Structure 1
């Protein structure tokens, strides 16, 4: 499923975010920026310990903020680390919206033309998948409409499994109706 907002293509990629051919990948984390769970752990495993070390030196940050590190051994040039929670894995809607916006703003600061975002908070964070997908897709669209001169040309929602793909497809279909 693909759609566009302005000049930016939005699509779903099923599989390993670390293998995507994008300028930047997003690593969800706590405010301390440790990469020891979920997608962040996968990014650290593929990119090397240096990704986490570089991030932690910039923390702690507030929930909904982002920092940029190099991708080290990843295909992506940049890793955008967003804080989704204080220290517990629980995530709320406001954090997902703020982290989505912060990730896109960080992508712009890095001059990225393409970025891959995982499904924020829907794994270990326990947030409902369909609601999380809807929040993220809606916020990406809002950001792109507010920034029509963005350099971002490709936003990928990197997901695992059929349920996540279906949730993001549902959100993108809803977006394309407007």
Structure 2
């Protein structure tokens, strides 16, 4: 099942959340906290990003799991959804979704909350990004309880 909601990713009940990340090309500590990553840093602390920094550069569309820091999740799946020019593409969105599900499957996580990958810092049109994300998730949604969160401030 896939549900689309409006709100804050960090307020969702799930085994894990997905964070659209910058591929580790720029060290995490040099980046201005923005979007989902900024919210994770503010509420969850720096530990997930320290772990992510040890991974090194991530191929576009790949996914890496870290702890959730102080957040109430079993982990965070960071996906490399944007390229070197801070842009998302249909392929990077689809690959990120598929690889996030693969990491969740490896850990037997059944519920995940996704942001609209590519729509924030990735500069992609939110409706189109949502369409590509949902299409990729629907291919494997049967074994998961998935929530896609369209960010809206309270």
Same fold (TM over 0.5): yes
Query: C-alpha root-mean-square deviation of aligned residues, in Å?
Result: 1.8
Ranges of 4+ aligned residues in structure 1 off by more than 2 Å? 33-37, 85-88
Q: 5+ residue gaps in structure 1?
A: 1-8, 163-178
TM-score normalised by length of structure 2:
0.88
Corresponding position of 2:151: 160
Any residues of structure 2 matched to 1:93-132 within 5 Å, and which? 93-132=90-129
Partners of 1:124 and 1:86 in 2: CA distance: 11
TM-fit CA distance, 1:70: 1.1
- 2:9–2:17 Cα contact (<8 Å) kept: yes
Partners of 2:56 and 2:34 in 1: CA distance: 17
Q: Report the number of matched residues.
A: 148
Please say which structure displays the higher CA radius of gyration.
Answer: 1
- 2:8–2:152 Cα contact (<8 Å) kept: no
Please identify which structure carries the higher helix content.
Answer: 1
- Match for 1:143 among 140, 143, 152? 140
- SS of structure 2 residue aligned to 1:22: coil
